[in-house]
Amino acid sequence: MKVLVINAGSSSIKYQLYDMPAGQVLAKGSVEKIGDDDSKLTHRCGSQTTTREEAVADHKMAMQRILEILVDKQMGAIAELAEIATVGHRVVHGGEEFTGSMIVDDRVLASIEKFVDLAPLHNPHNLVGIRAAQDKLPDAIQVACFDTAFHTSIPEVAYMYALPYELYEKYRVRRYGFHGTSHRYVARRAATLMDIDKYQFNTITCHLGNGCSMAAVRNGRSIDTSMGFTPLEGLVMGTRTGDFDPAILFYLADKGYDMGQLNTLCNKKSGLLGISGVSNDMRTLEQLAEEGNPRAKLAIEVFSYRVRKYIGAFLTVLNPLHAIVFTGGIGENSPLVRKLICQDLDHLGIRFDAQANETEKAREKTISSADSDVRIMVIPTNEEEAIAGDAFELAAPVAKAT
């Protein structure tokens, strides 16, 4: 079965075409800067990569371009679109309604739309991607894979806020958590690498990128996570605040900030960008810090310190702890950040190997010392593979029945 995985963002669509159940990637790529005159499609099939630059007006046109190149005689991976039996879509927010991936029907679409208020930067674009795929591939089974689903196992004691209970009853204000597909993938991959049954495995997973979150995984299930009601809570991120005193917002409102300005400040002007004043890109900040920029150095240290604090918090609810896993663009590629987070944790049985941390020989690697009680691992996330697996598992019985 051919499964197309779609990850639709505000101005981009990433895609991968899989041959399932083998899990073979037939083609992959992205359309970036959707809505701009200098939109760019990058497509890879086998050993060949091509780039096409042209204006792509909207997500519907972007889907058209993706499907065209998938059947292109020179760069395509399939002969005709009818070969695509299933499309798996990343959807950020599924609220309390979805504990796993779902075949898309009118009810699922209505629920995704209902949760737009909870993920205004993500769910609208996820919906556009689904509807564009429905329009261009009407015979394919559409599957929604929710970032929140993995965290629906979090117990009430961890997801409730100390707000008036009626806010939960009326508006479902609670901790939801995000990046669930990534946390699930790396937790299960780590269990496999350590030869421990996934439902007996305890780990702290650290998804560190422009958006960042951590999860405490006990017996293979999420029991706590750093993100909350929205993806704003928790760790310092590229442009998001993470945890801070909410009374700051009241104070700034008294100073004349309106709701729109406060939203933009917290989501787009804070985090690494806000502290450094120059960039939300960790690579840029590391270079500037090395050159002596004090605010770039401070941003890196604040970022790392927050992760370190959450490791300490999650240690108290995981006994025993088998592993700490780093993933995401920063988690996978920044030895400096991993060092700042993990050094001097010997008193907790977490012993860091600085030399292994610096070695770039393998994408998957262990960076703890041989005598560490807790394995520290770097595992590249593969949300697309997880989505393809879910989509195939749900769609295969339906396809067989028809």
For 105-163, what is each residue's pLDDT tens digit?
A: 999 999 999 888 877 777 888 898 899 899 889 999 999 999 999 999 999 999 999 99
Matching residue, tokens 């981009």: 12
Is-contact 324 376, C-beta < 8 A?
A: yes
Nearest to 208 by CA among 145, 280, 123: 280
How many whole angstroms separate alpha carbon 354 and alpha carbon 343? 8
Neighbours of 58 (CB within 10 A): 12
pLDDT in tens, 11-36: 889 999 999 999 999 999 999 988 88
Residues of the chain with pLDDT under 70: 361-362, 402
The token pair that represents 358 in the structure block? 């610096």
CATH 3.30.420.40 location in the chain: 2-146, 197-383
Do 128 and 63 meet the contact criterion of CB atoms below 8 Å apart?
no
> Which of 121, 84, 125, 86 lies closest to 102 in space, CA to CA?
86
Cis peptide preceding 138, ω within 30 of 0: no
Asked whether 139 and 81 are in contact (CB, 8 A), the reply is no
Which backbone phi and psi does 152 adopt, to 5 degrees?
Answer: -70, -10
The residues, any chain, with a CB within 8 Å of residue 287's CB and separated by 6 or more, are: none
- Is residue 390 part of the annotated active site? The answer reads no
pTM of this prediction? 0.91
Helix (H) or strand (E) holding 102: strand 102-103
Q: Which CATH class is domain 197-383?
A: alpha beta
Instruction: Determine phi and psi for 125, rounding to 5 degrees.
Output: -75, -35
pLDDT of residue 169: 97
Q: Are 129 and 6 in contact (CB under 8 A)?
A: yes
Determine the 3-state secondary structure of 256 from DSSP: coil
The answer to whether the peptide bond before residue 120 is cis (omega within 30 degrees of 0) is: no
Q: Which residues contact 176 (CB under 8 A, 6 or more apart)?
A: 93, 95, 118, 148, 151, 159, 227, 228, 229
CA torsion angle 275 277 283 288 (round to 10): -100
CATH architecture entry for 2-146: 2-Layer Sandwich (3.30)
Is the distance from CB of 214 to CB of 314 less than 8 angstroms?
A: yes
Structure tokens at 399: 């396809």
**DSSP 3-state assignment of 349?**
coil
Which of 147, 224, 353, 390 is flagged as catalytic?
147
Report the relative pairing of strands 48-53 and 323-327 from DSSP bridges. Answer: unpaired
